[in-house]
Structure 1
Amino acid sequence: MAPGLSLPALSSMPVSEVQRPGFAGIDWSMPWFAQFAGRGERWQQAALTSYAALLTEMNADAALMGQTTGRGERLAFIAQDDLPPGAAYEAHISATGCVPTRHNLHDFFNASMWFAFPRIKAALNARQSAAIDVLGVGPTRGGVRDTLTLFDENALLFACADPVLSDALRSFDWQTLLVGGRDAWGASCEVRCFGHALLEKLIVPFKACTGHAWIVDVPPEYFAWDAIARNAWLDASVGAALMNTEALTSRMFAPLPVLGIPGWWSENEAPAFYDDASVFRSGRRTR
């Protein structure tokens, strides 16, 4: 956090207007980071020690987990400079299992997702590398790759057992979803952060910070499960959807301002928080 600035004072400021903290700025008590705190705190200490120490910690966890990438290669993390010249990032991961990783927050959170949601990450990598096989690497990614990249960078997983709330999110009905339906959060719906660029932005939260919500219909009993079981269910369900949905488009997402999520930001306890039409906008199209 920038010296002399409290989080509420930053709530409406874009990250570009304040000095972005480094690894020491991760506050694991914040709801968007708390789900990754167990492993994240260890990695944070390694990152503050050195680049080499961070890669060592990541690879020790990868060896224990036995995770594979999009084409079944064992997951490992390498320095960015070890990516061969001219190699495509996603294709290299798919072919070798090695994820080029820089000593920065962006890649720190990207690596975290390989452990938090391994099937989703493997599915994204498989679809990206398959598209590269067909189209090569050009100046544009194409619609499917753009959607996969948007998911990877900025997705929120919106788990919901109540169609009324899912419809409210799709239709930009913020009053139903975030004010009138406030008591349903944690009982009928919840959110997991996935996008690593989104998590990087949330180092310094600002009111307009918006994720792309991927709506996941869950059974009512989902909310009686513990966090590990919920994450595993989301990972399997969303990973399968990403692999099996041929026509992936950005229209599958719904925008959701992160600081508007009930329980995630103290200022949103006042209903007037949602009166800011520059953040909580009305829909521009039928979804």
Structure 2
Amino acid sequence: MPEIDWRAPWFEAVAARGQAALAGRDWRHALSVQASAAALVSEQGQALRFVAQEALPVATAYEVFIAATGSVPTRPNLHDFFNALIWLTYPRGKAALNARQAGAIALDGVQATRGATRDAATLFDENAVLFACSDPSLGAALRAFDWHTLFVGRRADWGLACEVQPFGHALLEKLVAPYKSVTAHAWIVDVPPDYFLWHPAQRRTWLDARIAPALASAPLTTRDFAPLPVLGVPGWWPANEDPAFYRDTSVFRAGRRQKK
């Protein structure tokens, strides 16, 4: 494992669990103990635990194995470490995504191309952030690539009317060594104004319950996401205190022109 700066704001949701797990000799076992203590289960009600990659039977799809057994094949690397931490943070959302993937495989088999729904589910699993907002105009600014409004003009509304919560484990892996162009796929979640008065753990529990039904059965396409350069989030990177930070059009790109 490389050194991880757990003080970084994007690790807030997973820092305590991650540090506790790494303090022991076997972080897979430590995270399995945490999952057991929280009574976490797969969509089929199987107790969640993190097992060695070798536990996955030959010719059995990863997603199908997790759904049926609750056992998540986990390699001893950073990518799978963050995957386990997201399972612990958003257990209902992860279980819903897993069940969606497993159901698609059961229906269509493992194919060379995943199809639109599985592509969107994979994108969510790997690289999503939840953009929680109580003001629809902020979500509209994000979708319109209106970076100046979102990050400069409405900067004071961050933490009061909108926030970002990371979900994708590959995204967290990239943020161990952050760079300006790291871009997430934002999933906009409408929240009540009182949401921003809640404790952060309560917010994530609420988000988990909110997104799970959609991930389980609602239509999913890659067009449901909005690109979000995460180092632009106010408070996440010192350089973005300067409005000039957002003038880098190689990162904060203009939106695609709509066809007439």
User: Equivalent residues in 2 for 1:5-16 (5 A)?
Assistant: none
Partner of 1:25: 3
Partner of 2:157: 184
1:251 equivalent in alignment to 2:185? no
Deviation track 1:37-66 (CA, whole Å, cap 9, x = no partner) reads 1111012233xx4xxx12221221122111
Q: How many pairs does the alignment contain?
A: 259
- Identity level (%): 56
1:96 equivalent in alignment to 2:69? yes
1:284 equivalent in alignment to 2:259? no
Pairing partner for 2:85 from 112, 117, 122: 112
Letter in structure 1 aligned against 2:23: Q
Deviation track 1:195-236 (CA, whole Å, cap 9, x = no partner) reads 000000001000000000000000111111111211111000
Pairing partner for 1:151 from 113, 124, 128: 124
1:39 equivalent in alignment to 2:12? no
SS of the residue 1:248 aligns to: coil
Partner of 1:55: 28
Pairing partner for 2:208 from 231, 235, 238: 235
* Kept after mapping to 2: 8 A contact 1:70/1:124: no
Deviation track 1:143-164 (CA, whole Å, cap 9, x = no partner) reads 1011000000000000000111
User: Equivalent residues in 2 for 1:217-232 (5 A)?
Assistant: 217-232=190-205
Deviation track 1:10-47 (CA, whole Å, cap 9, x = no partner) reads xxxxxxxxxxxxx342111000112211111012233x
Partner of 1:13: none
* Kept after mapping to 2: 8 A contact 1:117/1:231: yes
Partner of 1:87: 60
Note the C-alpha offset of 1:138: 1.1
Whole-Å separation in 1 of the counterparts to 2:258 and 2:196: 30
Whole-Å separation in 1 of the counterparts to 2:192 and 2:32: 35
Pairing partner for 1:274 from 237, 242, 246: 246
Whole-Å separation in 2 of the counterparts to 1:192 and 1:43: 21
Deviation track 1:44-92 (CA, whole Å, cap 9, x = no partner) reads 233xx4xxx1222122112211111122211111100111111100000
Letter in structure 1 aligned against 2:90: F
* Kept after mapping to 1: 8 A contact 2:28/2:50: yes
TM-score (norm 2): 0.97
Note the C-alpha offset of 1:285: 4.6
Whole-Å separation in 1 of the counterparts to 2:217 and 2:115: 18
Partner of 1:18: none
SS of the residue 2:189 aligns to: strand
Whole-Å separation in 2 of the counterparts to 1:57 and 1:228: 20
Note the C-alpha offset of 1:256: 0.3
Larger mean Cα displacement after TM superposition, 61-70 or 211-220 = 61-70
* Kept after mapping to 2: 8 A contact 1:24/1:44: no
Partner of 1:203: 176
User: Equivalent residues in 2 for 1:116-155 (5 A)?
Assistant: 116-155=89-128
Note the C-alpha offset of 1:116: 0.5
Whole-Å separation in 2 of the counterparts to 1:149 and 1:113: 14
Deviation track 1:118-173 (CA, whole Å, cap 9, x = no partner) reads 11001101111110110011111111011000000000000000111110000000
Note the C-alpha offset of 1:244: 3.3
TM-score (norm 1): 0.88
Q: CA-atom RMSD, angstroms?
A: 1.2
Whole-Å separation in 1 of the counterparts to 2:44 and 2:84: 18
Runs (4+) off by over 4 Å? none
Gaps of 5+ in 1: 1-22
Whole-Å separation in 1 of the counterparts to 2:143 and 2:48: 36
